[in-house]
Amino acid sequence: MEMGLFLQQSTSLVMTQELKQAIQLLQFSSAEIRDFLKEQALENPLIELNDKVISHPLFHQHEKITSDAKHRALENQPANKSLQDILVEQLSEMQINDRNREHLQYVIDSIDENGYLMISIEEFCTEQDLTVQLAESCIQMIQDMEPAGVGARDLGECLLLQLKRSTEKSELAEQIVANHMEQLAAKKWKELSAHYQVEVSDIQKVNDLILQLDPYPGRSYSKDLSHFVAADVAIMMNDDGEPVVTVIDSLLGSIKVNQEYKTQLMNSGGECADYAKAKTQEAQWLIQSLTQRQQTIRRAAEVIAVHQAVFFSY
């Protein structure tokens, strides 16, 4: 058997990160891209979205019905049961007297479809003739039910309830949610790292943990969700009878790099500067992918419009 070194020339397709991301975005609808952008903005503090894209600084109300909802507490329950139905079933299993059952039923009836308690402690005390201590005890009993986070009075309390039940215990996450939610939502991670005397990467881990939580624990039980399909392009016929393609979505102009925060991190040097460079590159890749998606959709629509001109003329 002959031994030796041989040169062989071949070609192969190398999938860069940018190309992979561009292909992924091309398959998404506009609604799915909005959700994707919100996830990216939460993971990357240098990505800045305007109000047209993101409706909450930390979370977005993502409405999606699935047969196996993300936080469904009782998996054997039919999907058409409401949040109130689930809570009442858990209430029926509790060994309490009729008076307390009436108080808890009042709390359940005061919870909206998102899982939040819509009455104040003062109103609860007045309506049910309770002391503040007993009223808080009743609310606590509802908050101990499934799904985790139900019965909260605001977003912070909702997240704290879930963090306390999480298998990934994080005292830092609980402290930030309890005391510095606004700073976390505003992506002031450098300030938070200095305040808690931790690395920026530790704040990133807290952010990633919070992203796993559900800001709307009752949403997966809602019966009345409305779903709409948004078009990516519009094709109209001009006066000459020729199809004109217009890209409807304006996602491309809704994302940019937060230059002010980037400068702060770069000026800090060391780990912060390296972190800023990496996150800036990720943001630029994302913007380029959105640009390529828009161009590809336009070209594809133009070809379709030409071949189906007769259809669009009606």
- pLDDT (tens digit per residue) in 219-239: 888 655 455 566 778 888 887
Q: Which pLDDT score, from 0 to 100, does residue 268 have?
A: 82
User: What backbone torsions phi and psi does residue 246 show, to the nearest 5 degrees?
Assistant: -125, 125
d(CA 173, CA 192) in angstroms, rounded, equals 11
| pLDDT value, residue 15 | 65
pLDDT at 63: 41
How far CA 224 is from CA of 32, 69, 83, in Å, comes to 20, 15, 12
| The predicted structure's pLDDT at residue 302 | 87
How close are the terminal C-alpha atoms of the chain, in Å?
73
Helix (H) or strand (E) segment spanning residue 244: strand 243-247
Q: Which long-range contacts (CB under 8 A, 24 or more apart) does 104-107 make?
A: 104/138, 104/141, 104/142, 107/138, 107/139, 107/142, 107/151
- Alpha-helical segments (H) within the chain: 17-27, 30-43, 83-92, 98-109, 121-128, 132-143, 155-165, 171-179, 181-185, 189-196, 200-211, 259-268, 270-307, 309-312
- Positions in the chain short of pLDDT 50: 52-78, 225
Q: Using an 8 Å Cβ cutoff, are 255 and 33 in contact?
A: no
pLDDT at 246: 82
Per-residue pLDDT tens digits for 172-195: 999 999 999 888 888 888 899 999
pLDDT at 212: 87
CA dist., res. 259 & res. 89, Å (int): 52
